[in-house]
């Protein structure tokens, strides 16, 4: 059986009030709204808090000639209570600024976070991070890179970045997904995708 099309659209939601509760590094809003119900009625007025963050790009840097990936390690406040470590192994990532497309963001952040120059790219997917309370959307990409000479500490000091770059064999990186050493969604998804597509990429990208 095929997947069903969405029953409703944005037109089936009425927002009557939008209040900013906090506006700092991130923004928090409270919305009062009503939406259509599956049995043909309209929901009573609802109050919902919404975490507001702009779209972001996460890009897996893949060296098809060495069959290796470039990962970055940095402190994450959201992982502060992680019993293993609040320093996570992640993909290069950044927020989409006005006038940028996803490829622009990937190239800018790869240069800032890993001193890397990207080649060809493929889209992996676009997904909602936590739609129960956040509007953040991630655009997940894979990009070709020459990993020779990459490493060291990078990032923008005025943004509080302190980023350690690792070049890791693809098989070892995927084992990190299996064991749970890699424990953030974008990196897990990208490495699982690469596990399925690395052979095709190596052929397409001339490895």
Q: Which residues are catalytic?
A: 159
The CA distance from 142 to 144, in Å, is: 7
53: tokens are 């963050």
Are 169 and 144 a contacting pair, CB within 8 Å? no
Residue 25 exposed, middle or buried by CB count within 10 Å (0-12, 13-18, 19+): exposed
Q: What is the CA radius of gyration of the chain?
A: 20
Q: Output the CA torsion 131→136→73→60 (10° steps).
A: 100
* Beta-ladder partners of 139: 57, 126
């Amino acid at each position: 059986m095929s997947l069903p099309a969405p029953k409703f659209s944005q037109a089936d939601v009425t927002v009557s009030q939008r209040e900013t509760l906090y506006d700092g590094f991130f923004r928090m809003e409270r919305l009062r709204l009503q939406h259509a119900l599956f049995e043909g009625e309209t929901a009573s007025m609802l109050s919902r808090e919404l975490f507001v963050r702009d779209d972001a790009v996460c890009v897996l840097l893949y060296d098809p000639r060495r069959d290796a990936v470039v990962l970055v390690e940095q402190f994450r406040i959201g992982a502060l209570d992680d019993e293993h470590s609040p320093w996570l192994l992640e993909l290069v990532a950044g927020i989409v600024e006005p006038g940028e497309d996803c490829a622009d963001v990937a190239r800018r952040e790869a240069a800032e976070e890993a001193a890397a120059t990207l080649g060809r790219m493929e889209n992996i997917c676009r997904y909602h991070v936590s739609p129960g309370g956040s509007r953040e959307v991630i655009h997940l990409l894979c990009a070709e890179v020459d990993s020779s000479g990459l490493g060291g500490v990078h990032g923008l000091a005025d943004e509080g970045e302190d980023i350690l770059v690792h070049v890791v064999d693809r098989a070892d990186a995927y084992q990190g997904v299996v064991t749970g050493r890699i424990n953030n969604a974008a990196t897990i998804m990208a490495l699982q995708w690469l596990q399925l597509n690395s052979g095709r990429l190596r052929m397409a990208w001339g490895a």
